[in-house]
Amino acid sequence: MIGTPISLAVDDREGAWNQALLYPLRFEPIYQYRLWGGRHLASLLTAPLPSGPVGEAWLLSDRDDHQSRVTDGSLKGRTIRQLLQQFPRQMLGKLAGRFPRFPLLLKFLDVHEMLSVQVHPTKANTNLLPAGETPKTEAWVVLEAGTQSRIYAGLKPETTEADLRRALTNGTVADYLACLTPKPGDAVFLRAGTVHSLGGDLVVFEIQQNSNVTFRLYDWDHVDPKTGKPRALQVDKAMACIDFAEGPVGRVMPVVETTTPVERERLFHCEHFWLWCLRGQSPFPVGAPGVPRLLVCIGGAGQVEHGGSTYAVAKGDVFLLPAIIGACTFRPRSAVNLLEIALPD
């Protein structure tokens, strides 16, 4: 059940004292139509899917056109933007003032058909970024995979721009992409500038910089049923962003940090986000003093305990632990699989 929030007085940006009623915050998913999507997210999330192919569920989004809202408690209906503006220090702690908006975008992807072969801009491509946008480094954790599932990440060695342009004319782009057959639990890190695609009944969790800039290089001859036409490509912009020296991108090797009371594996540790996978059946700590943390439940269920109150966590839920909350206890109902995410100090 939802308990009574903690009332704490803190100094805001203008130096006035305000009362902030903050607690572990659960957000409702924002579903997105994608022509390559499917219906697998219905088994991952409790919120009903809209009709048609649903390719993405945005779990935490601070985008102008897609604002995540708190699902329950005294702050139900508030957007992530409103919370950050009203309670910057309580929400972000020592990171307050560093970001114009929440810097990460979290998603579940259901890629039934193949995602377009695409690339995201790097710091070297600021001329291609719309105002207010950033480069886009991202990463995937595989949740479900079928026999036809594939991940393309990076280019085969010695592939050149001329090779790719020639392949676009004869439909052989995939021949130049590094490919792996994924299985649940696999993790793949994609720096901005990495050519990538995935699909074939594949469900992944995606963490990325809060950017929505994507340049399509190739779209597998998809036709959008809504328009009856192929989607637009941005070949020249994509080529300008590709890091041709990067080569193939493989699976990330987890680093085991603890085994009791929870198995804690570090998957991603970059300048934009840190992410751990936690598996266990006994109570274990989550969160950290003075900084925000994010929890995404990808298997099992349980509850977050803090200040004498409990907050139920089900498969598919995303929670933001405000910095003022500090460390909490997670009590699994049985075996649980949890992702914990931090913003780098």
Query: Could you tell me which residues come within 8 angstroms of residue 191 by beta carbon, excluding any fewer than 6 positions away?
Result: 122, 137, 243, 246
Is 5 among the domain residues?
Answer: no
Q: What is the mean pLDDT of residues 116-124?
A: 96
**In a shared domain, residues 234 and 277:** no
Residue range(s) defining the domain that contains residue 111:
30-241
Contact predicate 292/321, CB 8 Å? yes
**In a shared domain, residues 38 and 100:** yes
Kindly indicate the confidence band of residue 345, based on its pLDDT and cuts at 50, 70 and 90: confident
Is 4 among the domain residues?
Answer: no
Q: Helix or strand or coil: residue 304?
A: strand
Contact predicate 114/214, CB 8 Å? no
Per-residue pLDDT at 11: 46
**In a shared domain, residues 103 and 206:** yes
Q: What is the mean pLDDT of residues 116-121?
A: 97
Domain C-terminal end among 212, 241, 270:
241
Per-residue pLDDT at 224: 87
**In a shared domain, residues 267 and 176:** no
User: Rounded to 5, what percent of the chain is helix, strand, coil?
Assistant: 15, 40, 45
pLDDT tens by residue, 268-285: 999 999 999 999 999 999
CA geometry: angle 24, 26, 28, nearest 5 deg:
170
Q: What is the mean pLDDT of residues 76-80?
A: 97
pLDDT tens by residue, 222-246: 998 888 999 999 999 999 999 999 9
Q: What percent of the chain has pLDDT over 70?
A: 94
What pTM did the predictor assign?
A: 0.93
Sign of CA dihedral 67, 72, 78, 84: negative
Spatial separation of the C-alpha atoms in residues 205 and 209, rounded to whole Å: 14
The token pair that represents 225 in the structure block: 């049923």
**In a shared domain, residues 194 and 89:** yes
Q: Are strands 177-180 and 150-155 parallel, antiparallel or unpaired?
A: antiparallel
Cα within 13 Å of Cα(95), Cβ side = 22
Cα within 13 Å of Cα(119), Cβ side = 24
The token pair that represents 291 in the structure block: 């900084």
Contact predicate 56/34, CB 8 Å? yes
Q: How many domains does the chain have?
A: 2
Spatial separation of the C-alpha atoms in residues 68 and 25, rounded to whole Å: 11
Q: State yes or no: pLDDT of 333 exceeds 50.
A: yes
Is 237 among the domain residues?
Answer: yes
Which letter, b or e, does each residue of 286-320 get, where b requires 16 or more Cβ atoms within 10 Å of its Cβ?
Answer: bbbeebbbbbbbbebbbbbbbeebbbebebbbbbb
**In a shared domain, residues 232 and 272:** no
Domain C-terminal end among 241, 275, 290:
241
CATH code of 312's domain: 2.60.120.10
Contact predicate 87/322, CB 8 Å? yes
Is 68 among the domain residues?
Answer: yes
For residue 315, give the DSSP letter.
T
Is 22 among the domain residues?
Answer: no
**In a shared domain, residues 225 and 276:** no
Spatial separation of the C-alpha atoms in residues 310 and 318, rounded to whole Å: 15
Spatial separation of the C-alpha atoms in residues 115 and 227, rounded to whole Å: 18
Is 16 among the domain residues?
Answer: no
pLDDT tens by residue, 243-256: 999 999 999 999 99
Is 8 among the domain residues?
Answer: no
For residue 54, give the DSSP letter.
E
- The closest of 128, 138, 90 to 249, measured between CA atoms, is 138
The token pair that represents 319 in the structure block: 């929670």
**In a shared domain, residues 190 and 76:** yes
**In a shared domain, residues 276 and 330:** yes
**In a shared domain, residues 263 and 226:** no
**In a shared domain, residues 237 and 261:** no
Q: State yes or no: pLDDT of 10 exceeds 70.
A: no
Q: What is the mean pLDDT of residues 84-99?
A: 95
Per-residue pLDDT at 16: 32
pLDDT tens by residue, 299-319: 999 999 998 999 999 999 999
For residue 288, give the DSSP letter.
B
Contact predicate 72/23, CB 8 Å? no
CA geometry: angle 148, 43, 313, nearest 5 deg:
130
**In a shared domain, residues 189 and 149:** yes
Which residues is 58 bridged to in the sheet? 30, 107
pLDDT tens by residue, 128-174: 999 989 999 999 999 999 999 999 999 999 999 999 999 999 999 99
pLDDT tens by residue, 186-201: 999 999 999 999 999 9
Is 154 among the domain residues?
Answer: yes
Which letter, b or e, does each residue of 25-40 get, where b requires 16 or more Cβ atoms within 10 Å of its Cβ?
Answer: bbbbbbbbebbbbbeb
Spatial separation of the C-alpha atoms in residues 53 and 111, rounded to whole Å: 10
Q: What percent of the chain has pLDDT over 90?
A: 90
Kindly indicate the confidence band of residue 59, based on its pLDDT and cuts at 50, 70 and 90: very high
Domain C-terminal end among 215, 241, 267:
241
Mean pLDDT of the chain: 93
Q: For residue 20, which phi and psi values (nearest 5 degrees)? A: -110, 125
Per-residue pLDDT at 42: 96
Residue 3 CB neighbour total at 10 angstroms: 15
